[in-house]
Amino acid sequence: MPHGESTEGRPVEDALQSRSVLVERLGVTIDPELLTLALTHRSFAYENGGLPHNERLEFLGDSILGQAVTVRLYLDNPDLDEGALAKRRASLVSGVALAEIARRLGLGEFLRLGRGEELTGGRQKVSILADTVEAIIGAAYLSIGGEQATALVLRLVGPLMSDPARFGAALDPKTALQELADQRHASAPVYEVVGSGPDHAKVFRATVTSEGLPTGRGKGSSKKHAEMAAALDAWSRATSTSA
C-alpha cells in the first residue's frame, strides 16, 4: 500500500478528518483504531486479505445496549409489568430503531464496505447500519469505560425512548400512517415508487400521498424500504404540524 494512503484509497489524513466528524456527532472520544474497526464490515475485510472486522465489537455492543436500555426502562416505568417492559426493550434495540439512530448520525457515509455491498446499497441497509451502531457502542466501551458508554447509549436511544408514538411509527411507519389517516378521516395513503440505476445497484424513491395529510418522500435500496421511509416522512410532517 502506498505511503500516506488508507486501505480505502483515500489519504490517511482525509480518512481521519472524516471520522473526526463522526466522533464529534457521537460526543465521545473513541480510540481511532477501534473506531476504524467498528466501521469495517466483513465484506470489506474479506476483499482486503482477511482484515479484522466489526462483528466482535458488535457482539460486545449488543450486550451493553441491552443492559443500558433495560435498566433505564425499569427505573423510568415503575407501573409497567415484565411483559410490557420486555416488549418495549425489544423494540428499542431492534434493527429498525438502531438503523434510525445510524441515519440520524449519518453513519452510512463512514462505513468501510466491500465492492459488492457498495454496489447493492449497503450504506442504506438496515442490518448493516444497526450492526455498526452496536459495534460503535462496543468500541466506546473499550475506549472510555462502561459508565460513559452507557451514557452514549442513552443519548442515542433517548429520542425514541422519550417519544413512544414516534418510535412506534419508526417500527411500522406504513401502519402508523394508515392509522393516522383513519383518525383524521383522510383518504388511504397511495404510494408511487420509481427505481433508478443499474439492476445490481438500484435506488428506489417513493412518494406517498393522501388527501388530508402532508406528502411524504423517501428512498431506499428496495421498494419496501423506500415506501417505509416515505411513510415515516409523511407521518412525521403530519404530527409535527399538529403539535
Annotated binding site: 58, 131, 134
Question: Any residues with CB less than 8 A from the CB of 195 and at least 6 apart, and which?
Answer: 202, 203, 204, 205, 223
Provide the annotated active-site residues: 62, 134
Record the cell numbers describing residue 5, joined without a space.
494512503
Instruction: Specify the long-range contacts of residues 41-45, CB closer than 8 Å, at least 24 apart.
Output: 41/111, 41/112, 41/113, 41/114, 41/117, 41/122, 41/128, 41/132, 43/113, 43/114, 43/115, 43/116, 43/117, 43/122, 44/112, 44/113, 44/114, 44/117, 45/114
Q: Please give the annotated binding residues for Mg(2+), written as ranges.
A: 58, 131, 134
CA–CA separation, 34 and 28 (whole Å): 13
CA–CA separation, 80 and 77 (whole Å): 6
Q: If you ran DSSP here, which 8-state letter would residue 123 be given?
A: G
- Cα-based angle 20, 22, 27 (whole degrees, multiple of 5): 95
